[in-house]
Amino acid sequence: MSHGPVRAWLTVLGAALVLASCSNDGQGADGSPTSAVASAGSTPSGIPNEVQKRLGAPALEITDADIPEPLVGDGTKLSPAAIQINPDQILPPDLPFSEEVRAEIIGLLRDLQPLHESLTSDHHDRWYIRNRRRLEALERDTRTDIGLAALRAFEKYPIRDFNVRRNLLRIAARVAPEESSVFLGNLAFTYGPYIEDRTEALLYYAEIAPEEFMDRARPYLERAGRPFQTAPDDEFFTSGWLKACEASGEDPVPMMASVATNFALQPRARYVAVKSLKAHASSPLARAALETTLVESTGDAYIRRMSAQSVIGGYPREEACMLLQKVASRESDINFARFLDDMIQSNCR
């Protein structure tokens, strides 16, 4: 099946995105998002199928037997936030998608409409499990058209419903990584679209185009001052970097050590970095970062606690205990000294 009209659509909307990024520093006065799709002429990076499967969601282990029976009341009642799905608006008939593909995406959008809040939990359990299973099946589909249709549906979905929009991005990234990588990259790094859409796109972009993600994310994680533009929170760039390293085989330690000790970044980004360094505690660079954050004097007691936990979890036990005892002997913060004493009593006796 030819994808000419779909690719033409991506090209036109990509041009619109470039114009928006040049002329608009944010959302419009009415709060509406700018189109966020692939720019023309780009060559996206795919990922090997085995990596794609490894990064996919684990199989659902809950079965129908885990749901209470019988159902209470009428389970067909939808929330006031639910909308009527118009197939011709979301996937116009002139696009070269088969009826089967169209039915899959439209059916998913209808199933994802939220149930009424007054329904009992057994209905909401069934809704969640049914949709989880459907999403897992779709993200493992081998038809590229499923991913392309999800991209189209994302662009045309009429309301700001995070649950629906994030799942459309998920399907696009997992089913059509090569076709969606430029789309996701431009969505993540262009100021204007909804921030939650940008954040989800950022994480999927890190999975399917790790080298490109690293090139574009590096300035955000290595900055020495305040953020230079509105973007997803630093913790998502940090988590994305870890995903990109997993997909590409790149060593995460240099960037995680830098993030852990970079006071310019938001604290939660530093927490993610410190936690990740536990698995790499044999690296001198990782150790230097952990030992720096363990004794830092910024007043952030949480990062110091996380550093101590990474030390006790990553270092050889005798070495970890010696380090914690040394820090505890010089500690002036009474609360942190008690925390260290508890760790020593629990792990070093």
DSSP state, 299?
Answer: S
List C-alpha distances in Å: 297 to 7, 81, 186, 221, 261. 54, 48, 39, 22, 12
List C-alpha distances in Å: 265 to 45, 94, 158, 262. 28, 47, 35, 6
H-only helix segments in 112-266:
121-139, 144-156, 162-175, 177-189, 195-208, 210-221, 234-248, 253-260
**Residue 121 structure tokens:** 């939990």
Sorted by sequence, the CB contacts under 8 Å of residue 130 that are 6+ apart come out as: 111
Q: What is the pTM of this model?
A: 0.80
The pLDDT assigned to 75 comes to 65
Instruction: Parse the chain into domains and list their residue ranges.
Output: 1-56+83-208, 221-349
pLDDT, one tens digit for every residue, the chain (349 residues): 445 555 545 544 444 443 344 334 334 333 333 333 333 333 333 344 444 444 454 555 656 666 666 676 766 789 999 999 999 999 999 999 999 999 999 999 999 999 999 988 888 988 998 899 999 999 999 999 999 999 999 999 999 999 999 999 999 999 999 999 999 999 999 999 999 999 999 999 999 999 999 999 999 999 999 888 899 999 999 999 999 999 999 999 999 999 999 999 999 999 999 999 999 999 999 999 999 999 998 889 999 999 999 999 999 999 999 999 999 999 999 999 999 999 999 999 8
**Which residues face 78 on adjacent strands?**
115
Q: Which helix (H) or strand (E) holds 19?
A: helix 4-23
